[in-house]
Structure 1
Amino acid sequence: MSAPHLPEHPDFLWRNPEPKSSYDAVVVGGGGHGLATAYFLAKNHGMTNIAVLEKGWLAGGNMARNTTIIRSNYLWDESAAIYEHALKLWEILPEELEYDFLFSQRGVMNLAHTLGDVRESIRRVGANKLNGVDAEWLDPQQVKELCPILNIRDNIRYPVMGATYQPRAGIAKHDHVAWAFARKCDEMGVDIIQNCEVTGFLKDGNRVVGVKTNRGTIHTEKVGLAAAGHSSVLAELAGFQLPIQSHPLQALVSELHEPVHPTVVMSNHVHVYVSQAHKGELVMGAGVDSYNGYGQRGSFHVIEQQMAAAVELFPIFARAHVLRTWGGIVDTTLDASPIVGLTPVENMFVNCGWGTGGFKGTPAAGMTFAHTIATGAPHKLNAPFSLERFETGALIDEHGAAAVAH
């Protein structure tokens, strides 16, 4: 877990072109999902006359603000399928993109603190195994052996009664992921246009034919929306609504430490999760703030509760110093599952609602969304995550697997 050499921001690895007057397709959102979508459009579907529009700087939104945890141990078949496919892509993409993500498969533990937690956790392990996802149930002593610094005494507020464990899960360097996709997109002819905010859309009846931006109008045959927490704003500009809410989600890091935390530990019950980054800082997060908003910051009481829980579970952290905090904007659906598919506007497609699970789903989200844009029909992996499920009632309730930011 020694600190590797981290390069400077490699802006020279891709062009910063002026937008052209027209493209075959436009992807709105220059984060992980937007860049992955553009990459798979070019690689799998031969669409290279496309543009990625980013209102700020490349990957400056949630891609730069998440805590980089990657796992696939979701309960329902539909979720397990798309996240497991994403995990398999994570395992091969560094070689394919010729860029080291620092993908560390150190495993992820989800702690159980009550009998209800234990029942649900064992149920999820069984469901994972049926879906071919690596999963184990650990008793408290096994938890302690895997993570020696974790407090498993029974005299704390929520004692550890066991944990689920996915050995293939882990963390990656989010900046490297964005840079890798951006470089490959640029090599294949994709235009990455930064500081280009979408202000509206051109429509011919109910069909989108262009995008209005602060840098001029761009004509296009297809538009993909991949703007996370701002997706609902873009949808309103296009004339339809999305069943999502945007919430602030914050995290914090400590000063640098020697390697002390060998895995990733999550606790939905006390709302905290902790890992140690490659450079040595402790990365901690909690659940979303309860209010809706677009501010990239959070509330002090959430940080206080998060740190109290972390110190209770990891007494060794009591004297660690917080280095900085930050926030992102997460788009959440009522069933805690994403929306990837068609919209009421012809030739406009949407990829949103990933909530706190957007980073881990990046490769599969990009691949399936690219398929949907290129063919006009969903891939089998994202077909269950259509917008229509909120009308039909075919929801995919993953609150148990996504109740805490991760």
Structure 2
Amino acid sequence: MPWNLFKYGLSRKSHGPAYFPAQPDLKSSYDVVIIGAGGHGLAAAYYLARDWKINKIAVLEKGYLGGGNTARNTTIIRANYLTPEGVAFYKESVKLWRELDRELDINLMYSERGHLTLAHTDSAVRTARWRAEVNNHLGVNSELVFPDEIARICPELNLSSDVRYPVLAALYHPPGAIARHDAVAWGYGREACRQGVEIHQLTEVEGILTEGDQVTGVKTNRGVVHTGKVLQAVAASSTLLADMAGFRLPILTVPLQ
């Protein structure tokens, strides 16, 4: 249990100090500008400050902290991917997740409950078997399971054969977990601020300034900010920022919900 949460539980206070320190005015220049105050942007800011001692960092967010994709996802944490590169990357990620609440001193509600990827066709079963073999070869716990075992793992599932697409098998990943996405953003944001990072909400990027093939700054609704390094962490809006910078991404952005 995070120490601050334990102390709060024993106290008689109705609330503690402000969770985030007051942010200074937006400066005219920074070493690094990160666009997007979601999980990825805030984590990048935190690790750049902690591990690389870069503390002149501004995170710019057109809305509010954690209000984009970070607050609207399935919260699933897993490492049972297909390619060796993907498995290795997410295997290390899971290791970080298991200690992250202690590091950030916040209850992320991280809970390993197991993850099932259902297979409704023969080809999906073959892919699940392939993934299980790749996972086990690389030290990730996954296995192909069939309806009897699926029923034991998750009795709420409808495993009837009298449906249009019956469940034939599943890839079972016991370490599959969930976490509270809002807390992830808050935790990374607070710790980044403690490292000297500035988070500027309601600050929309309207353009990216370049000279030749070099970034020189960003134009915002609050003025121009000069920087030689820009990191975009805006999920589906990446194509919009890429257009501002003068290059194209092989991504089509479509609003689905």
- The two structures have a TM-score, normalised by structure 2, of 0.90
User: For 1:178 and 1:220, how far apart are their aligned partners in 2?
Assistant: 24
Q: Which residue of 2 aligns with 1:243?
A: 250
Q: Could you tell me how far 1:218 is from its partner in structure 2?
A: 0.8
Give unmatched runs, 5+ long, in structure 1.
1-6, 249-288, 290-296, 298-406
Residues 218-251 of structure 1: CA deviation (Å, up to 9, x unaligned):
1112111111111111111111111112233xxx
Give 1:157's aligned residue. 164
**Secondary structure of 1:165 counterpart:** strand
After superposition, residues 308-319 of structure 1 pair within 5 angstroms as none
**Residues 19 and 190 in structure 2, CA contact (< 8 A), matched pair in contact too:** no
1:110-147, Cα deviation, whole Å (9 max, x unpaired): 11122222111111100111122110111211100011
For residues 39 and 240 of structure 1, what CA distance do their matches in structure 2 show? 27
Partner of 2:11: none
Q: Are residues 1:183 and 2:190 paired?
A: yes
1:34 is matched with which residue?
Answer: 41
Structure 1 CA distance for aligned equivalents of residues 246 and 58 of structure 2: 22
Aligned match for 2:138, one of 113, 128, 131: 131
Tell me what 1:304 maps to: none
Identity %: 48
- Find the aligned partners of 2:100 and 2:179 in 1 and give their Cα distance: 12
Q: Is the 8 A contact 2:106 2:183 kept in 1?
A: yes
Give the secondary structure class of the aligned counterpart of 2:182. Answer: helix
Match of 2:29 in 1: 22
| Number of residue-to-residue matches in the alignment | 244
Measured on the aligned residues, the alpha-carbon RMSD in Å equals: 1.8
Structure with larger Rg: 2
Kept in 2: contact 1:121–1:164 (CA 8 A): yes
Q: Which runs of 5+ in 2 are unaligned?
A: 1-13
Higher strand share: 1
Q: What pairs up with 1:144-223 in 2 under 5 angstroms?
A: 144-223=151-230
Counterpart residue number, 1:276: none
Q: Which position in structure 2 is the counterpart of 1:280? A: none
Paired residues of 1:75 and 1:127 also in contact (CA < 8 A): yes
1:40-59 matches, cutoff 5 A: 40-59=47-66
**Alpha-carbon shift at residue 107 of structure 1 (Å):** 0.6
Specify which structure has the higher proportion of helix: 2
| Counterpart residue number, 1:368 | none
CA distance in 2 between partners of 1:96 and 1:135 (Å): 28
Letter in 1 for 2:201: Q
Q: Which residue is 1:96 aligned to? A: 103
Q: Deviations over 1:330-378 (max 9, x none)?
A: xxxxxxxxxxxxxxxxxxxxxxxxxxxxxxxxxxxxxxxxxxxxxxxxx
In structure 2, do the counterparts of structure 1 residues 16 and 183 end up closer, same or farther at CA, with 3 Å as the change threshold? same
The 8 Å contact of residues 15 and 186 in structure 1, kept in 2 or not, is answered as no
Task: Supply the distance in 1 between the matched residues of 2:236 and 2:24 (Cα, whole angstroms).
Answer: 26
Check conservation: 1:16, 1:194, Cα contact below 8 A. Answer: no
